[in-house]
Amino acid sequence: MEWLSPENVVAVLTAVLGVLTSAGVLWYERRVPRRKRIGYRVQMDTPIGSGISHGRANLRVGLFDDTPGMADATLVLLRIENDGSQSIADDDYTRRGDLPGLTAEFTGRTVRGIAVTHSPGAGHLMDHFTPADAVGYDGSLIRLPRVPLNRNEHFKLLVLLTGCDVGGPISVSGGIRDGVVVRNTAARPDEKPPMFGRASRIITVALTVCVVVLAGIIVVRDGTPPPMGCARGTLTVTGSTAFRPVVEELRKKYEEECEGSAIVVDTRGSNAGVRALDAEGSKPGAAGSPALIALSDGPKPPGFRELHGRRVAVSLFALVVNDTVPVRDLSLDEIRRIHNGGIRNWREIEGGPDLEIRLVGRDADSGTREVFQRRVLGGSELAPSSRDCVTKDYPRAPVIRCELDGTDQVLAEVAELDGAIGYTEMRAGEVPAGTHQVSIDGTSPSVGTISTSSYPYRETEYAYTYGSLPANSLAAGFLDYLDNYGEEVMRANGHLPCATPEGMRLCGED
């Protein structure tokens, strides 16, 4: 099988992406030190005055309404937190002397009052807001002391401001050794965090896309598993025309899966195929088994001792008549009398019209004909009496009977000739327009009921090779493929695979 198939490439890329991601995360966690980080976030910015033009308060009562100078007042809740991976000590602040640790600026507004709160379980933070280190403000600025913060600790500033609408610029600045002060957009520890971080979401999406693409390729491509073994070279399959549709379909699939393999289908009838295989294998100087498989409707003649066969399937065959004959069922006795000249006109059959019977058969190399003679007639057909299937070449011949080379010719001739009857293997599609199948003693050919049916026109299909096949040969690989992956194709074309439980029993009986 070609390695560089689309599904293999996507599967490998998915695996590589997963491995590299896991290794990268592990390396990052252990080797890359995280910076100290103070984040801030504006959690509320709301108007409380009557003169605010944007975002005006709907209702004010009590002190909000009575206190002078509140016409353009706003309230801001500012959160300051350690959202890094390391604790921050007071000496991590780079500003020294009388300079504050951090500075919060409310551009365009004037600070009128401040209230400080701490996170749950972090009451010790208030020890750093002493009179000496108290929060101070001047105009639009708030000065914050150098407050040590463990991971995930925070404090909040509730700030009363005047002088501007809500939504004005708010920033926090300062210096942290080996760290940064940034506006925070991450989820807070007291808020519900997202299930995945940004990096995790990107990786998850990438892996999901890879898996979906891989699944799509598998669904769109043919579902047949690849052959268990492939061999290069050329193989010829000859013999039964009844099995040709199966071989043609599987040939295409096998060649797609096995690069460098070529299978030539040259079916000329079961007997002709068996003879050709024996002749090829017994040539002077021939070494080993030739790259040739002969398919046969039924077992080979006993004289071909070097041919080794394997049962492949139970094949079904059917009788077809021209639509000018409304008969839908024939008894076994009527079929035999029709083909030995005992019945020459359809009016002799119940429900039959006044039409001369014309027999359209196959040549002597046909396995379909041989099965018909052995399984249905119990003897040989009449000799051919017409070359054009219309007129008798011999006036004394009891009926018109012609022989054709293949199934397609038989079906076309039966569809063309009024009163004609012929035989064919079962096929995936319906019989051609102008013809219809007839049952035998009330039983129709069906793969689904063959194991419990008494339908007589059936035979075991054999695949013959000359001598023993090398295990790594193309012939051996194709026959294994036929057994392991051909069930659906064989059933669709009127064959019950011997590899199935019911087929194994029927193939063993023959």
Q: Which two tokens stand for residue 338?
A: 């029709």
Whether the CA torsion 295, 300, 304, 309 is positive or negative: it is positive
* Residue 231: predicted pLDDT: 82
* Residue 219: predicted pLDDT: 55
* Residue 121: predicted pLDDT: 80
* Residue 448: predicted pLDDT: 83
- Smallest Cα–Cα separation from 406: which of 250, 217, 240? 240
How do 74-82 and 458-466 pair as beta strands?
A: unpaired
Q: Which two tokens stand for residue 339?
A: 């083909």
How do 435-440 and 74-82 pair as beta strands?
A: unpaired
Distances (CA, A) of 320 to 88, 246, 327, 328, 353: 94, 21, 10, 9, 16
* Residue 365: predicted pLDDT: 87
* Residue 226: predicted pLDDT: 47
* Residue 410: predicted pLDDT: 94
472 sits in the region (left: phi over 0; alpha: psi -120 to 50; else beta) called alpha
d(CA 296, CA 239): 6
**What residue type is 264 in one-letter code?**
V
Give the DSSP letter of residue 468.
Answer: P
d(CA 199, CA 205): 10
- Smallest Cα–Cα separation from 362: which of 425, 274, 316? 425
* Residue 478: predicted pLDDT: 92
Phi–psi pair at 485, nearest 5 degrees? -125, 5
pTM of the model: 0.54
- Smallest Cα–Cα separation from 155: which of 168, 144, 164? 144
Q: Which two tokens stand for residue 180?
A: 């940064």
* Residue 60: predicted pLDDT: 64
Q: Which two tokens stand for residue 214?
A: 């891989």
Whether the CB-CB separation of 238 and 275 falls below 8 Å is answered with no
* Residue 189: predicted pLDDT: 47
* Residue 297: predicted pLDDT: 92
* Residue 188: predicted pLDDT: 47
d(CA 465, CA 473): 12
Neighbour count for residue 8 (Cβ, 10 Å)? 14
d(CA 499, CA 488): 12
Query: Which residues of the chain are under the pLDDT cut of 70?
Result: 1-8, 10-11, 18, 22-34, 50-66, 131-134, 185-201, 203, 207, 210-211, 213-229, 286, 427-430, 510
